[in-house]
Structure 1
Amino acid sequence: MVSSQSSPLLWRNITLFDGLEQFPEPMAVLVEHGLVAGLWLESEFDPSQASGAKEAASGGVMTPGLVDCHTHLVYAGDRAGEFEQRLEGVSYETIARNGGGILSSVRATRAASEDELIAASLPRLDALLADGVTTLEIKSGYGLTVADELKMLRVARRLGELRPVRVLTTLLGAHALPLEYTGRADDYVSLVCDEMIPAAAHERLADAVDVFCEGIAFSPAQCERVFQAAQRHGLAIKAHAEQLSNLGGSALAARYGALSADHIEYLDEAGVRAMAEPGTVAVLLPGAFHVLRETQLPPIDLLRQYGVPMAVASDANPGTSPICMPTLMANLACTLFRLTPREALAGMTAHGARALGLPHLGRIAVGAPADLCLWDIRQPAELAYAVQAGRLRQRVFNGVVTHAR
């Protein structure tokens, strides 16, 4: 159910999590002109302060709209066969080196038209929205040619036009080495830097540039070339780093002012310290950790010690996290990585927004965009505690109720 906002909207007797903390008392929340226009303690609220407002709901838990700051939502095909292989004992690295993994998705995505990619991606996007997402990032990375990477980015932009959601796009041309460049990784990096990034910037298709800094992907020196090209074209920087080994990719990205370093299971103290200085966000991806049955935990205590903000994201992708349920990620972040429920929810709201360079989102504060979720639960911790679909009572995007039951 979708409704337009013809008058101010008022929520009463709300348990409020503002993106960082839970308010200790029930609250009243007023939305007007797409913004949070008022916050009051319920005990002190005077109805005259919201004259003319329509009461949208009473009771329940309100959070900011969820921010999924790391997804690979646009792709064709599936990799269920590789899931089976891994359960039979074949490692992710072996599958990748034998032409599977990312390259399997590349073949299917190259063969798909934009309309076919839209049709394949919309059900995944709808699943995210039904679980409270109002802002997400979508990466390319399954095209690995200029034309196919731009095709993926165009599809991502179109998804944001087809649904009430804010989509940011990230060019991940340096995701894997395509087969046609076998043995010529430096030449492929030149293609990314000299053709792919300029084209994406010229067509305004990308908000950021990402790299996969790993032994099975690209070296720190090659990633640095990509970062430099992104800077030349005014695009933000992100990195897949320290997922399978410690190559120093997170520290390198931080030196270039990266918005985030993602995965980071093998991150060491020097890398954490490097990220703390510019405020680079650590994006935790427990879905991939879970699916790959990893055992190397991210350095959560070090991230806390150095004050590095921790985001939590779905990493929704065909191979290592085919999961489109953000609240499950909150649960996994707690059970696998030992985050507190408050940290997990902050990671999917305020810190997730910060990882996208949007610090004004992911918060409930007067003057903030009214991206809100109202949940049929009694306390915010329940979102991380239980794995249960159907708890979203209302989803509000830019002040408009786009989902209600």
Structure 2
Amino acid sequence: MSGFDHVWLEANLATMEGEGLGVIEDGALAVKEGRIAWVGPRAALPAQDAPVTRCGGAWILPGLIDCHTHLVFGGNRAAEFEQRLAGATYEQIARAGGGIFSSVRATRAASEEELLAAATPRLQGLMAEGVTTVEIKSGYGLDLDSELKMLRVARRLGAEHPVEVVTSLLAAHAVPPDFPGGAEAYTDLVAGEILPLAARAGLADAVDAFCERIAFSPAQTERVFAAARAAGLPVKLHADQLSDLGGAALAARHGALSADHLEYASPAGLRAMAEAGTVAVLLPGATYFLREAKHPDIAAMRAAGVRMALSTDMNPGSSPARSLLLMLNLGCTLFRLTVEEALRGVTCHAAAALGLADRGVLRAGLRADFALYGIGRPAELCYWLGGHPCLGRVVGGR
């Protein structure tokens, strides 16, 4: 007998192993001690006496991974959305005290308990869709205490819910308008104080930055990345969203896990990413919500061989997206991804964007994170707009 802890039978599997979706029809999956112990055709399953779940033809996929979110924040900007619909420009809203700094004020004013209470339903909505791993960034504090507060809330979300939370310090998100010394002095604060303290406290799994004309220059971003390297933390980058500042190539030079957005990334920058193994994280929610005409160059990414992930970019300003399944549809309809590219983008490639080699694929030896869906074929996850196809999740074998 096998000694498995639990076995799932009568399932169709999209393993993401190898090329394509790695489909196994009429398959079986077994778990032991929190890891996948066996996966393959049901007819080949070794004799076993473990508890069994019969899936009735449901599909099993690796647990979905939302690899770029700003899920913890205070307040929301629905009022600004109304103003924009009425004709107000982003600049007019910002001059009236809106924009990102309205979120900063709300986040600074909120207690940890208030931030936790606001973030919990956002996280639970993702979990209900089959998400088993979520990345959460800071970046709406922009001072030492508030940035660490956001990261503590993210850690608590992971501790209090059956989901894996990965954190990124994004203190280099924007320059506080009232900060003495401007961008240079604030970069010094991030690199010299906020980042080392977050690392020593074990609150950050990675460091992110926003390299753009309205945020941090390439030189300032490099200083933040140098501090991350000194602290032993990997890096990620909001790159080439509004202009081509060479963010894709900068991320590649530093061996970044991912470069995200990339609307204006050059073919040369994308080739550098492919050579470095840096994942491109596509964020169609922001493209849709901001009505952006400029899209990432998917053809150049394919030609370069860049791995493409998909994520919600859940945030109060540019992508108030609370559904990763919706991003599958937007990735296909807006960016013309194939079903295969979209589904790999929220599983194996999303795992790579977080530096997680133990998930994203249904393979013996990997972490037992997977989700069951009541669908007839995997394409339905990309096809439907809305709905609740997830029948259940297994996280770490539980």
Alignment TM class, shorter chain as reference:
over 0.9
SS of residue matched to 1:50: coil
Q: Is the CA contact (8 Å cut-off) linking 2:7 and 2:50 kept in structure 1?
A: no
Q: Is the CA contact (8 Å cut-off) linking 1:118 and 1:155 kept in structure 2?
A: yes
Question: For the residues of structure 1 that align with 2:97 and 2:255, how far apart are their CA atoms?
Answer: 33
Q: How does 1:2-401 map to 2 (within 5 A)?
A: 8-19=5-16, 21-42=21-42, 44-46=43-45, 49-92=47-90, 95-96=93-94, 99-181=97-179, 184-400=182-398
SS of residue matched to 2:386: coil
Q: Is the CA contact (8 Å cut-off) linking 1:11 and 1:58 kept in structure 2?
A: no
Flag the 1:195–1:245 CA change in 2: closer, same or farther, 3 A: same
Flag the 1:30–1:387 CA change in 2: closer, same or farther, 3 A: same
SS of residue matched to 1:30: strand
- Letter of the structure 1 residue corresponding to residue 125 of structure 2: A
- Letter of the structure 2 residue corresponding to residue 296 of structure 1: K
- Letter of the structure 2 residue corresponding to residue 175 of structure 1: H
Flag the 1:99–1:188 CA change in 2: closer, same or farther, 3 A: farther
| Distance apart, 1:96 and its partner CA | 4.5
- Letter of the structure 1 residue corresponding to residue 44 of structure 2: F
Flag the 1:230–1:109 CA change in 2: closer, same or farther, 3 A: same
For 1:142-199, what per-residue CA distance to the aligned partner results, in whole angstroms no more than 9, with x for missing partners? 0000111001000100000110011111000010111222761100000001100011
Question: For the residues of structure 1 that align with 2:81 and 2:6, how far apart are their CA atoms?
Answer: 46
Q: Is the CA contact (8 Å cut-off) linking 1:8 and 1:54 kept in structure 2?
A: no
Q: Is the CA contact (8 Å cut-off) linking 2:4 and 2:30 kept in structure 1?
A: no
TM-score of the superposed pair, with normalisation by structure 1: 0.93
Sequence identity of aligned pairs in percent?
A: 55
Question: For the residues of structure 1 that align with 2:90 and 2:67, how far apart are their CA atoms?
Answer: 24
Q: Is the CA contact (8 Å cut-off) linking 1:72 and 1:317 kept in structure 2?
A: yes
Greater shift after overlay, 48-57 or 382-391?
A: 48-57
Flag the 1:16–1:97 CA change in 2: closer, same or farther, 3 A: farther
| Distance apart, 1:89 and its partner CA | 4.0
SS of residue matched to 1:178: coil
Q: Is the CA contact (8 Å cut-off) linking 1:262 and 1:282 kept in structure 2?
A: yes
Q: Is the CA contact (8 Å cut-off) linking 1:68 and 1:326 kept in structure 2?
A: yes
Question: For the residues of structure 2 that align with 1:115 and 1:214, how far apart are their CA atoms?
Answer: 33
Flag the 1:121–1:148 CA change in 2: closer, same or farther, 3 A: same
| Distance apart, 1:22 and its partner CA | 3.5
TM-score of the superposed pair, with normalisation by structure 2: 0.95
Q: Is the CA contact (8 Å cut-off) linking 1:327 and 1:383 kept in structure 2?
A: yes
For 1:339-385, what per-residue CA distance to the aligned partner results, in whole angstroms no more than 9, with x for missing partners? 01111010000000100000221110111111010000011111001
Query: What is the aligned residue count?
Result: 393
SS of residue matched to 1:399: coil
Moved over 3 A (4+): 88-99
Question: For the residues of structure 2 that align with 1:217 and 1:99, how far apart are their CA atoms?
Answer: 17
Flag the 1:272–1:96 CA change in 2: closer, same or farther, 3 A: farther
Question: For the residues of structure 2 that align with 1:95 and 1:219, how far apart are their CA atoms?
Answer: 24
Flag the 1:65–1:199 CA change in 2: closer, same or farther, 3 A: same
- Letter of the structure 1 residue corresponding to residue 265 of structure 2: L
| Distance apart, 1:7 and its partner CA | 7.0
- Superposition RMSD on alpha carbons, in Å? 1.7
Question: For the residues of structure 2 that align with 1:344 and 1:23, how far apart are their CA atoms?
Answer: 15
| Distance apart, 1:135 and its partner CA | 0.3
Q: Is the CA contact (8 Å cut-off) linking 1:93 and 1:216 kept in structure 2?
A: no
- Letter of the structure 1 residue corresponding to residue 41 of structure 2: L
- Letter of the structure 2 residue corresponding to residue 126 of structure 1: Q
- Letter of the structure 1 residue corresponding to residue 364 of structure 2: V
Flag the 1:240–1:99 CA change in 2: closer, same or farther, 3 A: farther
Question: For the residues of structure 2 that align with 1:285 and 1:91, how far apart are their CA atoms?
Answer: 22
Question: For the residues of structure 2 that align with 1:304 and 1:83, how far apart are their CA atoms?
Answer: 35
Question: For the residues of structure 2 that align with 1:367 and 1:308, how far apart are their CA atoms?
Answer: 26
Structure 1, gaps ≥5 residues long: 1-5, 401-405
SS of residue matched to 1:14: strand
